[in-house]
Amino acid sequence: MNIIKGIREMQSCSEAVRNNGLKIGFVPTMGALHVGHLELIKHAKSVSGYTVASIFVNPKQFGPSEDFDNYPRQFENDADMLAKEGIDILFAPEPNEMYGDGYQTFVEVRNIQKHLCGQFRPGHFEGVATVVLKLLNIVKPHYAIFGEKDYQQLRLITKMVEDLNLDVKIQGYPIVREHDGLALSSRNRYLNSESRQKALSISEALFQIKQEFDSGTSDADTLCDMAREILGESSVDDIDYISIIDDKIIEPKKIASSGDRVAIAVRVGGARLIDNIKL
Ligand code: AMP
C-alpha cells in the first residue's frame, strides 16, 4: 500500500491506473477506523481492480462548537489496518493541501440538507458535499462507497453526483452493527460503559419502531413517540431528532410507508450519535 499526501500525485496515479484499464474503487473516511469502514473497503475491493481509501478529517464539515479538535486521530493504526486489507493507495492530505489560502468554493445540495442533521449542524452538509466533490476530482474513482449509517449524507452525495453529472457510481453499504445492535461509529470511542449502555437504546428504539410498523402502525407521530419513550427511559442526554423520512428526498412523513427510513440523532456521554433503519 502506498500513502499519498499530495493532490497532484494522487491525480496522476489515478490517471495512470485508469489508462491501464483498471476500475478504481474509493472509500472516503475520516480515520479512526473500525470494522464498519473495513466492510466498505472489502466491498470496494469486490467491485474494482484498484482500491483507494482516504483519511481526511475535514475541518469544513465541523461547526465551531463541534468535535473537530477532539475527533479521534490514529493514523499509524489506521494505515496498518488498511494495509492488511490489501488496498492499493491511502490518500491522506493535510488540511492546507485541500484548502489553500483564500479557499472560497462550496457546494450546496439545497433540499436534501434541509432536515435532520442539516437543522442541527449548520454548514455541515456544504462541508461534506464540497470535500466529497474535491476527493472525487482528485481520486477519479469509477465507484465510491458510502455507508447507509450516514443516510442523509449518502443521499446528498448521490444527488450531487446526479445533478453535476459526475462520472462515478455511488454505492451505499448497509449499516454494520455490534452484536448487541449499536451501530459502529468512530464516535463510540467517546462512550464509557455507562453511556454505551444508554446509547444502545438508539438501535433498540429503531428496531422497536420497525416491529411496530410491521405489525400495522403507520402514524409517524405514534411511532416516534414510542422511540422517544425508549430513549427517555435510558436517559440519553438529549434527542436532536426522531424522524420518519422519505428515503430519497429526505423529507419527514406523517404516515410511514414501506421503504421509508427512520432516523435518530441523540447526544449521549459527550457524543452525538446517529443511526437509522429502513421500514
Ligand atoms: P466516517 O469516517 O465516519 O466519515 O465514515 C466513513 C464512511 O464509513 C462513511 O461512508 C460512513 O457512512 C461509513 N460508515 C461509518 N460507520 C459505518 C457503519 N457502522 N456501517 C456502515 N458504514 C459506516
pLDDT interval class at 152 (50, 70, 90): very high
Atom 5 (ligand 1) nearest CA: 29
Query: Roughly how many angstroms between the first and final C-alpha of the chain, as a whole number?
Result: 40
At 144 the pLDDT is: 98
Q: Closest Cα to atom 6, ligand 1: which residue?
A: 29
Q: Is 156 helix (H, G, I), strand (E, B) or coil?
A: helix
Local confidence band at 223 (pLDDT 50, 70, 90 cut-offs)? very high
Q: What is the mean pLDDT of the chain?
A: 97
Counting atoms of ligand 1 from 1, which one is nearest the CA of 177? 19
pLDDT digits (tens, 9 = 90+) for 168-178: 999 999 999 99
Q: Is 155 in the pocket of ligand 1 (CB under 6 A)?
A: no
As a whole number, mean pLDDT of residues 135-147 equals 98
Four-point Cα dihedral 271, 97, 169, 76, nearest 10: -60
* pLDDT at site 263: 98
pLDDT value, residue 72: 97
Q: 126: number of CA atoms within 13 Å, CB side?
A: 12
pLDDT band at 37, cuts 50/70/90? Answer: very high
Which numbered atom of ligand 1 lies nearest the CA of 184?
19
**Helical axes 124-139 vs 151-163, angle rounded to 10°:** 60
pLDDT at 121: 97
Map grid coordinates 430513549 to a residue. 231
CA–CA gap between residue 69 and residue 59 (Å, rounded): 9
214 pLDDT tier (thresholds 50, 70, 90): very high
C-alpha dihedral, 40 to 43 to 49 to 50, nearest 10°: 0
- Going by pLDDT thresholds of 50, 70 and 90, the confidence category of residue 150 is very high
Q: How far is the CA of 102 from the centre of ligand 1 (A)?
A: 30
Return the closest-CA partner of residue 39 out of 191, 172, 207, 204.
172
Mean pLDDT value of segment 246-252: 97
Give the pTM: 0.98
From the CA of 16, how far away is ligand 1's center (Å)?
Answer: 28
Tell me whether residue 37 is one of the annotated catalytic residues: yes
Cell of 178: 455490534
Among the listed residues 37, 115, 124, 142, the single catalytic one is: 37
The percentage of residues in the chain with a pLDDT greater than 90, rounded to a whole number, is 99
Cα 191–Cα 197–Cα 201 angle in degrees, nearest 5: 110
State which of 29, 158, 175, 178 you would mutate to test the pocket of ligand 1, scoring each by most atoms of that ligand within 8 A of its C-beta: 29
207: enclosing H helix or E strand:
helix 193-214
Rounded distance between C-alpha atoms, residue 279 and residue 276, angstroms: 10
| Percent of the chain with pLDDT strictly greater than 70 | 100
Predicted confidence at residue 90, as pLDDT, reads 98
The best mutation among 37, 42, 131, 180 to test binding of ligand 1, ranked by most ligand atoms within 8 Å of the C-beta, falls on 37
Pairing assessment for the beta strands 261-268 and 271-278 based on DSSP bridges: antiparallel
Give every CB contact of residue 36 below 8 A, 6+ residues apart in sequence: 147, 149, 175, 176, 183, 184, 185
Q: Are 45 and 51 in contact, with CB atoms under 8 Å apart? A: yes
